């Protein structure tokens, strides 16, 4: 055993004044007693308090010297040399992803609790000059405590860690650790995890020495890996779900379904090992809004399900509302027919010889026509615009329609094939820097789309009658894609829900003054309304969220959306015995380094306990003297 601060042992010299105090005579007040029977006791007290006489056994003196010994021992910081995971500057990365909630440890605790115990063990063996940077790894890695050798602060930071219900972004976490250790001469990156690194396995070489501390013992887990609803035109709403067994044993499970809070069905299924079971239901009631699916183990099941976070999923009914579109055209049947064939669109035919109706619409379609005066507030699809507007300028016609190219990576052109489309001529459009060119010919853009002044606008620069586009299957596909991009049925567009950690675009109408999002736990978040699309990113809780669009204090629109885990990398809880990083296979780390385990907290605790004992002994002596002192009449000696 050695000491980090051996000079503190000099404090043992304080025992000398403590002993001297017990050798000095105590001053006592003289009293007159009524009997000489007590004189003998007075003489004995007088002899006991004679200065510099031999000390007698005294429990209080022993306890006080013991307290001093423990305190001096603690201040000297005794330690022993023990094996350690790492030394020097340590970047300690603690996995806080959803899989770390699995309760498969031998004592029934969660993996994250074991990860914290491993982290505390590394702190306990921290050597002189060693530091630890504590990084919590979840969807957004965070530095919980920068490089520190303060064991008290490190233990407090580790004990305060909490697991998340999201996927871990190991790429960002390792990048963060690498940047923090850029100027260090000796650095070790220690990963405490169950081994699911995802895309981080392909990172380039990471500086420093990488050490892996695995946690987890079993792969037994059942999960809901998909849940969605659909309503085909004229048909009943349908539900699709998928249950996956990630374990190595066939498992029975009870699949329950609640519709708008009421139990709808509960059935028992057997899911084969490492397989998925699709479930389809076509009996959902009309007009439902929210479905909740859940998994429970039958009482007679012997196969455990160690992760509960993926046993529940939610879905919101698609097509909760209908989009209202106003069509202003001189008689384009191709346009009106395609709108009637698309679900979720309620199209109204306007009269081009009259002003626009006063009532608002979600979408305006202007075919070879423009309204007099200002443009309406709302999304607009211009087809063959006859004149310039405040949003763009119209130039001369162009017949250079060869070599048509499209942006195939844009979702607005999904499944759109313009290779066989022929266009006679189109109008040159300028002053539309806000728009993306989606389809282009030699002479210029054929289709532009973008967001400007808080509205979504698309421009088809040619007359449909001067092309064969309406005669091809590409036409309804293109219109369906554009309408999906245009004003959605509500301020949010998440028909299949989101995964935990995803962001949600929110497009409030013009009259909105604020947006309120209520989380599954009841907490509300407020978003300030601007001209651009709002983004809500606080989706780290699975469950049902609700978006309220407000005008002042009045809710003018409200819509729910679902957030689910649906992360195979987290539901597959099989612990990895090794990990691959920077092209190298990393095995679990043995304690090969030399660390130091200190004992000063134990010595300080023992000093406190002895102090309590000394206090009890002292006060008991006072009580004994008070109880057995004769209750005689006394007076002070005056002369």
Digit-coded pLDDT (tens) for 171-221: 889 888 888 776 666 788 889 999 878 776 666 667 778 888 899 999 999
CATH superfamily entry for domain 222-316:
Immunoglobulins (2.60.40.10)
pLDDT of residue 633: 44
368 versus 20: which is more confidently predicted?
368
Chain position carrying tokens 């429970």 = 296
Q: For residue 23, what pLDDT is reported?
A: 61
pLDDT at 638: 38
Q: Note the pLDDT of residue 54.
A: 58
**Which carries the bigger pLDDT value, residue 603 or residue 3?**
603
The predicted structure's pLDDT at residue 75: 75
Q: 3 vs 606, which has greater pLDDT?
A: 606
The total of other beta-carbon atoms located within 10 Å of residue 483's CB is: 22
If phi > 0 it is left, if psi is from -120 to 50 it is alpha, else beta; for residue 152 that is: alpha
Segment 283-317, tens digit of pLDDT: 788 778 899 999 999 999 999 999 999 999 999 88
pTM equals: 0.61
Domains 222-316 and 498-564 share a fold: yes
Q: Give the model's pLDDT for residue 122.
A: 87
Identify the residue with better confidence: 611 or 282.
611
Higher pLDDT, 396 or 534: 396
Is pLDDT at 551 greater than 50 in this prediction?
yes
pLDDT digits (tens, 9 = 90+) for 354-390: 888 888 888 899 999 999 888 988 899 999 999 999 9
Q: Write out the two tokens for 613.
A: 């004992």
**Whole-number pLDDT of residue 44:** 57
Spatial strand order in the sheet of 2-3: 2-3, 78-84, 593-598
CATH class of 323-483: alpha beta
User: What pLDDT is stored for residue 331 in this prediction?
Assistant: 85
State the architecture of 86-217+575-590 in CATH terms. 3-Layer(aba) Sandwich (3.40)
Stretch 604-623: mean pLDDT, rounded? 75
State what percent of residues in the chain have pLDDT above 90.
39
Q: State the residue for tokens 């991009």.
A: 485
Tell me, letter by letter, the H, E, C secondary structure of 588-617.
ECCCCEEEEEECHHHHHHHHHHHHHHHHHH
Spatial separation of the C-alpha atoms in residues 495 and 489, rounded to whole Å: 10
Model confidence pLDDT, tens digit, residues 417-472: 888 899 999 999 999 999 999 999 999 999 999 988 878 899 999 999 999 999 98
Calpha distance 275→244 (Å, rounded): 6
Strands across the sheet containing 237-245: 222-231, 237-245, 275-281
> Can you give the pLDDT at residue 512?
82
What's the pLDDT at 257? 93
The CATH class of 498-564 is mainly beta
Residue 506: CB partners within 8 Å, gap ≥ 6?
A: 491, 492, 515, 517, 527, 533, 534, 535, 536, 547
Q: Average pLDDT, stretch 147-159? A: 91
Residues belonging to the chain: 639
Domain boundaries, the chain: 2-79+600-628, 86-217+575-590, 222-316, 323-483, 498-564
Q: Given the structure tokens 């054929």, which residue do they identify?
A: 446
């Amino acid at each position: 055993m050695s000491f980090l601060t051996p000079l503190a042992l000099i404090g043992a010299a304080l025992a000398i004044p403590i002993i001297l105090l017990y050798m000095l005579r105590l001053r006592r007040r003289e009293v007159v007693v009524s009997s000489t029977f007590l004189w003998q006791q007075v003489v004995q007290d007088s002899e006991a308090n004679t200065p510099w006489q031999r000390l007698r056994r005294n429990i209080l003196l022993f306890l006080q010297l013991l307290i001093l010994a423990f305190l001096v021992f603690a201040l000297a910081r005794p330690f022993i040399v023990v094996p350690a995971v790492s030394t020097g500057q340590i970047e300690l990365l603690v996995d806080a992803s959803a899989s770390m909630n699995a309760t498969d440890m031998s004592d029934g605790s969660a993996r994250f609790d074991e990860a914290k115990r491993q982290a505390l063990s590394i702190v306990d063996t921290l050597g002189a000059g060693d530091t630890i940077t504590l990084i919590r790894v979840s969807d957004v890695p965070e530095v919980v405590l920068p490089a520190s050798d303060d064991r008290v602060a490190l233990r407090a930071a580790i004990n305060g860690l909490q697991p998340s219900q999201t996927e871990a972004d190991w790429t960002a976490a390792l990048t963060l650790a690498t940047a923090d250790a850029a100027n260090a001469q000796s650095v070790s990156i220690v990963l405490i995890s169950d081994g699911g690194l995802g895309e981080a396995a392909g990172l380039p070489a990471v500086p420093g020495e990488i050490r892996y501390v695995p946690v987890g013992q079993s792969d037994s887990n059942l999960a809901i890996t998909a849940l969605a609803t659909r309503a085909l035109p004229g048909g009943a709403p349908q539900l699709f779900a998928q249950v996956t067994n990630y374990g190595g044993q066939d498992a029975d499970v009870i699949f329950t379904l609640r519709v708008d809070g009421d139990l709808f069905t509960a059935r028992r299924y057997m899911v084969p090992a490492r397989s998925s079971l699709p479930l389809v239901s076509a009996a959902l009631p009309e007009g439902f809004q929210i479905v909740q699916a859940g998994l429970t183990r039958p009482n007679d099941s012997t196969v455990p399900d160690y992760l509960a976070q993926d046993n529940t999923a939610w879905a919101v009914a698609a097509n909760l509302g209908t989009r209202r579109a106003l069509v202003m055209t001189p008689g384009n049947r191709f346009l009106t027919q395609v709108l009637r064939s698309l679900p979720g669109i309620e199209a109204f035919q306007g009269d081009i010889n009259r002003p626009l109706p006063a009532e608002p619409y979600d979408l305006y379609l202007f075919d070879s026509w423009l309204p007099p005066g200002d443009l309406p507030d709302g999304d607009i699809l211009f087809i063959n615009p006859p004149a310039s507007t405040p949003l763009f300028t119209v130039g001369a016609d162009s017949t250079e329609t060869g070599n048509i190219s499209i942006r195939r990576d844009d979702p607005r052109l999904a499944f759109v094939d313009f290779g066989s489309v022929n266009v006679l001529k189109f109008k040159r459009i300028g002053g539309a820097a806000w728009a993306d060119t989606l389809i282009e010919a030699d002479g210029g853009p054929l289709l532009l789309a973008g967001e400007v002044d808080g509205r979504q606008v698309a421009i088809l620069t040619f007359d449909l009658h001067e092309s064969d586009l309406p005669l091809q299957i590409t036409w309804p596909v293109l219109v369906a894609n554009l309408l999906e991009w245009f004003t959605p049925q509500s301020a949010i567009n998440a028909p299949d829900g989101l995964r935990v950690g995803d962001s949600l675009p929110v497009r409030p109408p013009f009259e909105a003054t604020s947006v309120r999002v209520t989380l599954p736990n009841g907490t509300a978040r407020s978003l300030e309304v601007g001209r651009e699309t709002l983004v809500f990113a606080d989706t780290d809780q699975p469950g049902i969220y609700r978006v309220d669009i407000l005008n002042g204090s009045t809710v003018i629109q409200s819509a729910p959306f679902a957030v689910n885990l649906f992360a195979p990398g987290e539901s597959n809880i099989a612990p990895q015995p090794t990990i691959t990083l920077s092209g190298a296979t990393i095995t679990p780390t043995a304690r090969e380094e030399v660390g130091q385990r200190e004992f000063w907290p134990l010595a300080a605790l023992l000093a406190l306990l002895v102090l309590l004992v000394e206090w009890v002994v002292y006060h008991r002596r006072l009580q004994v003297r008070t109880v057995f002192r004769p209750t005689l009449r006394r007076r002070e000696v005056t002369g």
